[in-house]
Amino acid sequence: MAKREKAILIFMFLAVIYAVYALFLSAPKNASPAPAGEGLKVLQTLVDEVKQNLQKANLSDADTYVLEKVNAEWVADPFYEKRIEENIPSAQDALRQDINLNYYGYLQIGERKVAIINGMEYETGEELEIDGYIVSGIYPTKAVIGIRGRESKIILPLVEEALYGGLKEP
């Protein structure tokens, strides 16, 4: 055996002896877990100490305000995105079904935007075939329809299927 192989075997043997000692011989035999509330008490003590240290420091009004609001409950979720729920019927859905409006497509050529609603092309501000309804906004995923004389609007989501039932395989 070469010197290098002997050195590796010696180090491996010492590592095994240390592992046996650390796992079986040095561990306390009557180790019991800390009581459930002990960790919480330590954490609360730490938080109280930090609060006292911060009160002693000269903080600006903004820093004081931030520290007071850290633990306050949020009234609204700042990451909530308002979306149209497909499974929940709304007044807009009922109104849209009564007048039978479907938004099938969107086309933008330069600054000009065109919406395809019920197979007809409309630009923003144009009146629909149905009297009293005007195209208020055109977006890639929705069209906004205004009702003349009212402030309410109808949002038409993009219909994902093709205009005439889509392509069918033979």
Give, for all 170 residues of the chain, the pLDDT tens digit. Answer: 788 888 888 889 899 988 888 888 876 656 565 566 677 788 778 777 877 777 777 777 887 787 777 767 767 766 766 654 444 445 555 555 567 788 888 888 888 899 998 888 999 989 888 878 899 999 988 999 888 877 778 888 888 754 445 444 43
Q: How far is CA 59 from the centre of its chain?
A: 34
Q: In what order do the strands lie in the sheet with 120-122?
A: 103-109, 112-117, 120-122
pTM above 0.85, yes or no: no
Quote the pLDDT of residue 162. Answer: 45
Quote the pLDDT of residue 80. Answer: 66
User: Cα dihedral sign for 110, 114, 115, 118?
Assistant: negative
Quote the pLDDT of residue 114. Answer: 93
Quote the pLDDT of residue 170. Answer: 39
Quote the pLDDT of residue 40. Answer: 76
CATH class of 91-157: mainly beta
Rounded CA gap, 58 and 48, in Å?
17
Residue 138, classified by CB atoms within 10 Å of its CB into exposed (0-12), middle (13-18) or buried (19+), is buried
Quote the pLDDT of residue 163. Answer: 45
Q: How many CA atoms lie within 13 A of 154 on its CB side?
A: 25
Quote the pLDDT of residue 50. Answer: 76
Residue 161 corresponds to which tokens in the numbers above?
A: 């299927």
- Spell out the domain ranges in the chain: 38-69, 91-157
Quote the pLDDT of residue 65. Answer: 80
Quote the pLDDT of residue 109. Answer: 86
Residue 129, classified by CB atoms within 10 Å of its CB into exposed (0-12), middle (13-18) or buried (19+), is exposed
